[in-house]
Structure 1
């Protein structure tokens, strides 16, 4: 059970650190940690807002995972098996709830600027002969 507890402690540390960095606005934009939905990655403002909203649930999930790790080390028998599984499940559900809240929070932000004069959808534009995507 030591290996299971160690995995839970590592996941808990990642969740708590990500939550604290997100809460303070110091989590750098990335595709691996924090809220990394397509909407959150569209702009730096959206990424920071999404991770600030999801930070409390990330910290809470980290604490739940750490508690599951403690039970895995301290308990014996069926509790040492069931507690880590339950902690992992509830932790992931908590992270999902935070990501959902973040998605709702950034839904009200202004959409990202379109590339190109007609939204790069030249097939549906009346100016399709002159339409060229803007240079980046």
Structure 2
């Protein structure tokens, strides 16, 4: 039981730390902690907004984990294990709910203008349709299928 309670306490500290940083707007945009969806990672503002919205539920999830750890220590045995498992499931559901709210808020933000199509006209006008599957594959290999490939546009296609 001591190991289970210790794990719950450590996870609660990590989740609580992420929650506090998110609420304060100090959680940097990253791929490991916080609400991480395509919408939230699109801009710094959307990441901050999503994590501020999810912060209270993450704090609640951390509290549930602490309660599960205390329950495991105090009750012990099968009952303590059951309390810990219920607390973990409740914490996951609570954190998931907050993450969902944050993700929806980030998705509702206006889209930021990207460099795609603005700097070198890459992607701003549709390319002529490729004739064969080999042409489509060649365009993908050449880098014509993404915005980061403006410099390669058409460089490796046959004339």
1:120 aligns with one of 119, 123, 134: 123
Count matched residues: 131
Hey, which bits of structure 1, 4+ residues long, moved more than 4 A? 131-135
Q: What are the residue-to-residue correspondences of 1:64-79 with 2, within 5 Å? A: 64-79=64-79
Q: What are the residue-to-residue correspondences of 1:1-136 with 2, within 5 Å? A: 1-114=1-114, 115-117=116-118, 120=123, 125=126, 133=147
TM-score (norm 1): 0.86
TM-score (norm 2): 0.74
Stretches of structure 1 lacking an aligned partner (at least 5 in a row)? none
Q: SS where residue 78 of structure 1 aligns?
A: helix
Deviation, structure 1 residue 127: 7.6
Stretches of structure 2 lacking an aligned partner (at least 5 in a row)? 130-143, 152-159
Structure with greater helix percent: 2
Kindly indicate whether the alpha-carbon contact (under 8 Å) linking 2:40 and 2:107 is maintained by their aligned counterparts in 1. Answer: no
Between 76-85 and 64-73, report the one with greater CA deviation: 76-85
Between 64-73 and 105-114, report the one with greater CA deviation: 105-114
Kindly indicate whether the alpha-carbon contact (under 8 Å) linking 2:71 and 2:80 is maintained by their aligned counterparts in 1. Answer: yes
Q: SS where residue 110 of structure 1 aligns?
A: coil
Deviation, structure 1 residue 27: 0.8
CA RMSD of aligned residues (A): 2.3
